[in-house]
């Protein structure tokens, strides 16, 4: 683990040398603009970096990270990232990426106040309450935490589909899939939860927007 601030800049110089020796035009292409196909909404946890775990490079993934990969409808930062990536960059896939052993999820399962962050974690407690019957049947704390991580990802995928940004894209025929994914910090595996959604046909009526038909 790196502890020296200075080391980051030494590593940066080495990275530039390595990258340009592999691909002399890499930074010319990088500097000319971005057209990523993926938006990654992940946890801030240092162990779950989007590019490294997917073997991708700068330019491949647009990223928003917060504690416990939440999609909160009043979060202007998340909404701005979503709007820009869908409507300007035209990403085709939005991935909500949770991870087992998530400190935010574990803190939300407990009853100890931890400060300002309690206000953020309360949204995860709401997810717990929605799935209380299933979760209360799990005795093992780790298994319970793992399942809440998965359920939390599923709820955040659902939260994305509720937004006017996503529903508007769908109503105009824009190709846009929302995926739920969990990263296993013990094995390095990224697992798709099989809950991908690409339209609002199965959405509860109350969340559906009647978007104006696209102008032709
Ligand atoms: Zn986390």
Q: What's the gap in Å between 47 CA and the centre of ligand 1?
A: 9
The predicted structure's pLDDT at residue 213: 64
Produce one character per residue of 23-52: b if its CB has 16 or more CB atoms within 10 Å, e if not.
eeebeeeeeeeeebebbbbbbebeebebee
Ligand 1: centre distance to CA 103 (Å):
5
Q: Where are the domains of the chain?
A: 1-32, 34-199
Q: What tens digit of pLDDT does each residue of 85-111 get?
A: 999 999 999 999 999 999 999 999 999
Q: In the chain, which ranges are E strands?
A: 38-43, 61-66, 93-99, 177-183, 190-192
SS3 24: coil
Measured in angstroms, how far is the CA atom of residue 206 from the centroid of ligand 1?
Answer: 31
Give me 37's structure tokens. 């196909």
In this prediction the pTM is 0.95
Q: How far is the CA of 149 from the centre of ligand 1 (A)?
A: 9
Cα separation of 153 and 193, whole Å? 9
- The 10s digit of each residue's pLDDT in 141-186 is 999 999 999 999 999 999 999 999 999 999 999 999 999 999 999 9
Compute the distance from residue 205 Cα to the ligand 1 centre, in Å: 32
List residues with catalytic annotation: 43, 45, 47, 99, 102
Between the CA of 183 and the centroid of ligand 1 the distance, in Å, is 10
- pLDDT tens digits, residue range 8-41? 999 999 999 999 999 999 999 999 999 999 999 9
Question: Quick one: CATH architecture of 34-199?
Answer: 3-Layer(aba) Sandwich (3.40)
Q: What is the pLDDT of residue 215?
A: 60
């Amino acid at each position: 683990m790196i502890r020296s601030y200075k080391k980051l800049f030494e590593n940066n110089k080495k990275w530039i040398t390595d990258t340009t020796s592999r691909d002399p035009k890499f930074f010319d292409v990088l500097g000319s603009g971005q057209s990523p196909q993926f938006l990654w909404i992940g946890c801030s946890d240092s162990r779950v970096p989007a590019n490294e775990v997917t073997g991708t490079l700068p330019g491949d993934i647009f990223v928003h990270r917060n504690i416990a990969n939440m999609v909160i409808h009043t979060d202007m930062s998340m909404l701005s990232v979503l709007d820009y990536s869908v409507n300007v960059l035209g990403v085709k896939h939005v991935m909500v990426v949770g991870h087992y052993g998530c400190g935010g999820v574990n803190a939300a399962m407990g009853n100890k106040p931890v400060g300002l962050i309690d206000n953020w974690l309360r949204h995860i407690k709401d997810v717990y309450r929605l799935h209380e019957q299933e979760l209360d049947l799990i005795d093992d704390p780790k298994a319970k935490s793992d399942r809440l991580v998965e359920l939390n990802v599923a709820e955040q995928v659902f939260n994305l589909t509720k937004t006017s940004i996503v529903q508007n894209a769908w109503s105009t025929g824009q190709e846009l899939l929302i995926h739920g994914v969990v990263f296993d910090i013990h094995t390095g595996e990224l697992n798709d939860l099989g809950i991908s959604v690409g339209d609002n046909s199965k959405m509860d009526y109350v969340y559906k927007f009647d978007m104006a038909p696209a102008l032709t």
